Amino acid sequence: EAQVTQNPRYLITVTGKKLTVTCSQNMNHEYMSWYRQDPGLGLRQIYYSMNVEVTDKGDVPEGYKVSRKEKRNFPLILESPSPNQTSLYFCASSPRSAGGINEQFFGPGTRLTVL
Amino acid sequence: AQSVTQLGSHVSVSEGALVLLRCNYSSSVPPYLFWYVQYPNQGLQLLLKYTSAATLVKGINGFEAEFKKSETSFHLTKPSAHMSDAAEYFCAVSDQGGGYNKLIFGAGTRLAVHP
C-alpha cells in the first residue's frame, strides 16, 4: 500500500530534550515536506526537500532541523524543544512535476507536546 | 505571493442540507488549487484539484468546486450533507516559485453535520 508513515504518533517531552520524528514514504517520491498545524493557522511548511541531500527552509524553520540521506526518509529533528513547538506535525511527499500540479500525500500526523 | 482565505472557521449544517465552504485565493499567476479533508485523528486527504482544465471540478464523496477567476474563488460544495462529512477542510494554492511547488494552506473550516 502506497503510504507515508510517521513515528511516533504521539509524544510528550520536556523542554530541551532532543527528539526526532521519523517520516518514510514508499512511493519513490522526490519531494518531501514537513508541516505544522496549529488552530486558526492551517498548515505551515517547516522544511522541504527536493531530493536526496537537497533541503531548504519553509516558512517556519526556526528550532527545527531535517536531513535527507535516503530518498524514502525525511526525519524532523528538534535539538532543544520548547513549549511553542507543541503542535501537530505532518510529513508529506509528492512526485516531481513539471507543470506545478503538486498533489501531496500526507502522513497520519504526530502530536507533540513539549512541557 | 500566493495566499488563501477561508471564510468561516466553523460551519454547521443539517444532514441532507447543502454544504458550501468558501475559499478565496490570491495569486499573481494562474493558480493550481486544491481542497483537502482531514478526518479526526487522520492526515489530510485530497478531495479535488483544479489544474486549469475544466472550471467545475468534481472530487470524491460527492464534493465539487468551481473555479471563478473573476471572483478569485474556489468554493467547495456538496448538494446533500452526510454525517460522515463532518471533518476539517483545507483549501490550498500551489506556490509555483523557487523550483518547488509548495502548497499554501488556508486556516481551515471545520464542518459539523447534525441530524
Mean pLDDT by 10 residues, chain B (115 residues): 90 97 87 91 90 87 94 96 96 72 87 96
Q: Which three cell numbers stand for residue B21?
A: 465552504
CB–CB of B24/B8 below 8 Å? no
CB–CB of A111/A49 below 8 Å? no
Mean pLDDT of A71-84: 97
Chain A nearest CA to B115, separation (Å): 26
Q: Does A89 touch chain B (CB under 8 A)?
A: no
Q: How many whole angstroms separate alpha carbon B9 and alpha carbon B23?
A: 11
CB–CB of B19/B86 below 8 Å? no
Neighbours of B99 (CB within 10 A): 7
Neighbours of B46 (CB within 10 A): 16
Backbone angle region of A63, left / alpha / beta, with phi > 0 → left and psi within -120 to 50 → alpha? left
Chain B nearest CA to A30, separation (Å): 11
pLDDT recorded at residue B51: 81
pLDDT recorded at residue B97: 57
Q: How many whole angstroms separate alpha carbon B48 and alpha carbon B3?
A: 18
pLDDT recorded at residue A100: 57
Q: Does B27 touch chain A (CB under 8 A)?
A: no
Given pLDDT bands bounded at 50, 70 and 90, which one contains residue A103? confident
Q: What sign for the dihedral angle of Cα B10, B12, B15, B17?
A: negative
Nearest to B91 by CA among A43, A19, A85, A45: A43
With CB atoms and an 8 Å threshold, state whether B90 touches A42.
Answer: yes
With CB atoms and an 8 Å threshold, state whether A102 touches B101.
Answer: yes
Q: Does B49 touch chain A (CB under 8 A)?
A: yes
Length of chain B as a residue count: 115
Given B43, B49, B106, which is nearest A106 (Cβ)? B43
With CB atoms and an 8 Å threshold, state whether A90 touches B43.
Answer: yes
